[in-house]
Structure 1
Amino acid sequence: MTRRFDMDRRAYLKTVGAAGATAGVAGCLGDVLGGGDEDVIVPGTASGFAPFEFINEDDELVGFDIDLAEETIDRAGYEVGDWTDTEFDSLIPSLTEGNIDFIAAGMTINEERQEAIAFSDPYYESDQAVLVAAGSDVDASAVEDLEGLIVGAQGGTTGLDEAEALVEEGILEEDDLRQYDNYPLAVEDLENGNVDAIIIDIPVAQNFASGRDVEVAFEIETGEVFGFGMRQDDDRLGDINDALGEIRDDGTYEDLIETWFE
């Protein structure tokens, strides 16, 4: 079951710790940030992950992460730079190379990523879902039922991590794992019968199920938490966390949840 975030900062620190494209900005990272101005925070995302981030019918970048990130940056006292929209697995390299300053992309906080970047306090909690084509012959209610099936996920995501774990456990054959640049491509392959199932975050799976010919077969409880990503040496992270706290406390967070998820 998907849960909006309700863990306080102290509990978060005990749980996961406080560890900390596009053509780039040249030069030493030191004090040079994505926009070349410490008053500007240049955000990056990977659209195709509705309702967190996606391109709408008016060709605009919108979504829960977009609104929350812009509100957070603004309240922290900084200017929101121009958004960079790239593939998900290009976001961390873009951040560490200084092309962007801030990742807002439904990114799960985990130890591997914390070795490269720092995360804000978490702002959302989610599990994974297994998505299948509506009316297909796939009868799956647990991960063991995926044996012998072709399963896909987006590269660089925790959905792919879950699929690779199934390969290690011998449930999936390595040749039956499909990796995609983004989830819209994966869902298209699912609808066309080229893949039997895909593993994806629950809110995004539910969004696809509401508008495409696919359905959620079952959920995988992972207890992931999403955070905004910044460079480990970016001292603006404290301001971002303070702003996130204000947004939760004054009801703005719940307003955004209602807008994008309810």
Structure 2
Amino acid sequence: MDRRSYLKASGAAVTTISLAGCVDSLSGGGSGGENTIIPGTASGFPPFEMKEGDEVVGFDIDLLEAVVDETDYELAAWEDLNSFDSLIPSLRNGNIDVIAAAMTITPDRDENIDFSDPYYSANQSILVREGGDFQPSELSDLQGRQVGSQSGTTGEGVLQGMIEDGDFQESNYNAYDTYVLAVTDLENGNIDAVVLDEPVAASFASERSVSVAFVYETGEQYGFGIRSGESELQSALNDGLATVREDGTYQDLTAEWFGE
């Protein structure tokens, strides 16, 4: 039995926890077991998290499952939230216990939640229509164009920073609940570009009629989000991350999802 099948089987045997429940050991209530944690994500961010039928799949999904498999914790069913913006409030409210959603570790987020050690590094890509007339080569070329990003992401932060500096007009910014919606609007000619994480842009470019115009280096790193003060869980996740890096599982997953 592979790891995914094992986790599903053991999760079903241990608990029938509801998606919106809280766990006893981490959230102070709910119907979960003492070491059962509820993972949360926001699909629509391939290849990190996306839907295949009714199932959430992706690099983040497989990685967290592999990491938790190396700890004394068990995963309940995944909660797929409607928007990236709702992940941190859901974590802080105790509706989920871990965020696995290609979430960049930033000072602002670090004031509200804690993170595991970084597990992936990425920059921002500027995505345009394949073969289109607009082919920017730097951020300043976005001035006067309709540009989209997903709400709450680093891509949005790049554009908001440009707005604050007077290098981009707020009226030209288009916010989306998911990058799938943003890229669809790009393909349909409703916007001129999308700013998004480099590996996600590469995934869209391989499957849709869009291409990467250029990469803007931000040096960002992703981490698993947890509630502040959950030091035991944080240590367990960090140890699990170290183990899957050392035993080759991490490399296998990056090869599977990114071809690296």
TM-score calculated relative to the size of structure 1: 0.87
Unaligned runs of 5+ in 1: 1-21
2:80 partner amino acid: D
| 1:127 equivalent in alignment to 2:123 | yes
Give CA-to-partner distance per residue, 1:51-73, whole Å, 9 cap, x none.
101112x4321110000001111
Corresponding residue for 1:187?
Answer: 183
Give the residue type in structure 2 aligned to 1:84.
E
- Name the counterpart of 1:82: 77
Q: Deviations over 1:191-239 (max 9, x none)?
A: 1111110100010001001111111000000000000001112221111
Say if 2:100 is the partner of 1:104. Answer: yes
Aligned partner letter, 1:192: N
Q: Which moved more, 1:128-137 or 1:92-101?
A: 128-137
Measure the CA separation in 1 of the matches of 2:71 and 2:132: 48
Distance between the aligned counterparts of 2:200 and 2:23, measured in 1? 37
- Greater alpha carbon shift after TM alignment, 164-173 vs 201-210: 164-173
Distance 1:104 1:130, change over 3 A: same
| 3-state SS in 2 of match to 1:76 | coil
CA displacement at 1:37 relative to structure 2: 3.0
Shift of the 33–131 alpha-carbon distance from structure 1 to 2, 3 Å rule, reads farther
Shift of 1:25: 4.2
Aligned to 2:49: 53
Distance 1:46 1:178 in 2: 19
Question: In the alignment, which of 232, 239, 243 is matched to residue 240 of structure 2?
Answer: 243
Instruction: Name the CA distance, whole Å, in 2 between partners of 1:40 and 1:211.
Output: 36
Q: Which residue of 1 aligns with 2:12?
A: none
Deviation at 1:36, TM superposition (A): 3.7
Hey, what does 1:253 align to over in structure 2? 250
Matched positions, count = 240
CA RMSD in angstroms, aligned pairs only: 1.9
Deviation at 1:167, TM superposition (A): 1.2
Whole-angstrom CA distance in 1 between matches of 2:112 and 2:22: 19
In structure 2, relative to structure 1, the CA distance for the partners of 1:114 and 1:128 (3 Å cut) is same
Counterpart selection for 1:37 from 13, 33, 40: 33
Give the superposition deviation at 1:151: 0.8
Q: Which amino acid aligns with 2:248?
A: G
Aligned to 2:110: 114
Residue 196 in 1 paired to residue 192 in 2?
yes
CA distance in 2, matches of 1:208, 1:51: 9
Compute the TM-score of the two structures, normalised by the length of structure 2: 0.88
Moved more, 229-238 or 150-159: 229-238
Residues 126/27 of structure 1: CA separation in 2 closer, same or farther (3 Å cut): closer
CA distance, structure 1, for counterparts of residue 153 and residue 32 of structure 2: 29
Question: What is the identity percentage for the equivalent residue pairs of Structure 1 and Structure 2?
Answer: 50
Structure 1: 4+ residue segments shifted above 2 A = 22-31, 33-38
